[in-house]
Chains A and B, each alone.
Chain A
Amino acid sequence: MSIEVELINVSKKFGSVIAVDNISFKVYKNEFFSLLGPSGCGKTTTLRIIAGLEEPDSGIIKIGGEVVNNIPPHKRKVGLVFQGTALFPHLNVFENIAFGLKMMKLPKNEIKRRVYEVLELVKMSPEKYAKRKVNQLSGGEQQRVEIARALVTEPNVLLLDEPLGPLDLKIRRHMQIELKKLQKKIGTTFIYVTHDQSEALTMSDRVAVMKDGRILQIGKPKEIYENPKDVFVAYFIGEANFIEGKCISTESLEVKGLNRIKVKVDKELVGKRVALSIRPEKIRIARRLDGLDNVFDAVIEDVIYKGFVVDLEVRLTDEITLKVQAPPTEAANFKIREKIKIGWNCEDGLPFVI
């Protein structure tokens, strides 16, 4: 696979605030790559650096194998979809999409052909929408026009900065799937910035989790979810319970007020304090439980029925409450304050040194 975008030791400060702290990563051709992190983690700045809208203090940016540090944004041939809408309010849908083509000085009929094509691509009928004013469009339509405008110049890389942010949940889910399909269809490299972990997991080929200007982990969605390399990644991606304790051997963890927890940890961790991360859906809950490595008594504190799943909060000790997720077939009739058994296998608990 050839590399489309590469960042090498890129840093950027705003005043005394370090926005991007010595990050390096590669994005391959045709890949859907996400930068995921909480707000203020430097993901948008990273995107703007790739687009050429911010100049890095140090480091090298390569697009298509070429160093582009000194190439201004209008010559970088990347597409950028902005957070919220950045459609030109004084131009209609057609003129907005045609803007980039006009800058390329293409002939009029060519411009028209390509604008109509790209409108079809984002599933907007050109006859219906071409002459519309952009402020007459719904949020979802605006976002489609924005994507169309960024794609029409056929950039090698499309940068997307939380493009679905302002949309409501249902349209958002729908657009996520559509975007993913679109990306596979046209084969453009996508770099997608989001703070929504489910969005990143749904759409991406690979995800880079960022925090405080650094990349904590890069990997396929499954790797990131199942094997977080960092306690923040475990915490940020999906839901996780953390139980703090001390490793007394490679097989057991000592926790205050609780029987020893069976774990599987590396030798280096023995004697150290760790946080054991357990996903809520990995914890089994029932009135009777057998065949699990760890089984504990617990008290149900809260039951939240969500339709396809039930979220429970159970108290393990005075200090530890755990989030548990169970199918409604098993958990729908559990009552608050009911005494219950919970359990999990030792490979479901991931230890992080703290």
Chain B
Amino acid sequence: MSKKLVSIIRRERILRLILLLGPPLIFLTIFFLLPFVICFLYSFDIFGTRTFRGWFYYYMKVFQPLYFKIFLRTLGIAVFTTFACLVLGYPVAYCIALKTGRFKSLLITLVVLPYWVSFLLRTYALKNILARRGIINMLLMGLGIISEPLPLLYNMLAVIIGMIYNYLPFTILPLYASIEKLDKKLLDAARVLGANPLKTFIYITIPLTKPGIIAATILTFVPALGEFIVPALLGGPGTYFYGNIIWVAFIKMRNWCLGSAISIIFIVVTLTLIMLYSKYVGEEMTI
């Protein structure tokens, strides 16, 4: 590059921005925005790939009880998974951040360690653990606690176990980051001012780690809502998620219009929920 060109780039702020943001913008436009627009257009059957039945035909379909029931179930399980992950993950993050001293980084690495193995493999492994002749059933039967294998797989229980297992680290990491930053002096101050450990936790620790709780909630809730592999591998017929319906619509039924309409509604609902959540919790935080 000639010296002149370099100096122009240095001078011109706009040019610098374009050079820096250009590549990611192009990538996102082609692989994110464009498919989204196509999906949006398909949901109204603009391309006329199917017999035209009105602009909102596929949207109306989504509001049928069957789809609505699955939507509510997905929402319920995502909320439950997020909540369970918070309840299970907070003590872990808290202990690692405040009580383990120099083992801190080792322990947090252990939390992330399962992610070195593919998501699919881990879920298959879980399948083997929960199966009729899996480790848990064999162990319980071997110990004589049960005589018949427990139905641990292909039901809602298996799906919930799989969800919590897969999402727990997403909860722990942001919680850990915010608890770690917590000024321990504040906890001591609360203790000396007459707060027992529980009250210190409720009035000081929780409010001060709220940013971490919010981040953990969103990072767990959003992917949990869109999950479809866990119910497909571990669940039974009654455990379909919204994500599975989208998959069925696109791949099995080859009905892109229906799949697109479901996806668009799903995106709108997810965004609305997150916005409401961050607005409500975020505002409370500033008091």
A79 at the interface (CB under 8 A from B): yes
A99 and B193 contact, Cβ closer than 8 Å, known pairs A86-B183, A88-B204: yes
A289-312 vs B: 1/0 string, CB under 8 Å? 000000000000000000000000
B191 neighbours in A (Cβ, 8 Å): 52-53, 72-74
Complex: how many Å from CA A99 to CA B192? 11
Complex: how many Å from CA A103 to CA B199? 8
Complex: how many Å from CA A51 to CA B192? 7
A77-88 vs B: 1/0 string, CB under 8 Å? 111101010111
Determine if B193 and A100 form an interchain contact, defined as CB atoms under 8 angstroms apart: yes
Determine if B189 and A86 form an interchain contact, defined as CB atoms under 8 angstroms apart: yes
A88 and B189 contact, Cβ closer than 8 Å, known pairs A99-B203, A103-B199: yes
Total number of residue pairs linking A and B with CB closer than 8 Å: 64
Determine if A80 and B194 form an interchain contact, defined as CB atoms under 8 angstroms apart: no
Determine if B192 and A74 form an interchain contact, defined as CB atoms under 8 angstroms apart: yes
Chain B interface, >50% SS class:
helix
| Interface size of B as a range | 10 to 19
Complex: how many Å from CA A52 to CA B189? 11
A315 at the interface (CB under 8 A from B): no
A75 neighbours in B (Cβ, 8 Å): 194
Q: How far is the CB of B199 from chain A (nearest CB, A)?
A: 7
| Interface size of A as a range | 20 to 34
A149 at the interface (CB under 8 A from B): yes
Partner of B190, one of A48, A72, A99: A99
Determine if B192 and A73 form an interchain contact, defined as CB atoms under 8 angstroms apart: yes
Determine if A84 and B185 form an interchain contact, defined as CB atoms under 8 angstroms apart: yes
Determine if A82 and B193 form an interchain contact, defined as CB atoms under 8 angstroms apart: no
B146 at the interface (CB under 8 A from A): no
Tell me the residues in window 164-193 of chain A with beta carbons closer than 8 Å to chain B beta carbons: none
Complex: how many Å from CA A76 to CA B191? 10
Name A residues whose Cβ lies closer than 8 Å to a Cβ of B. 48, 51-53, 72-80, 82, 84, 86-90, 99-100, 103-104, 149-150, 153
8 A–B contacts, CB within 8 A, in A order: A51-B192, A72-B196, A74-B195, A86-B183, A88-B204, A103-B195, A103-B199, A153-B194
Q: 10 closest pairs, A vs B, by CB?
A: A103-B194, A100-B193, A86-B185, A86-B189, A73-B191, A80-B192, A90-B207, A74-B194, A103-B195, A53-B188
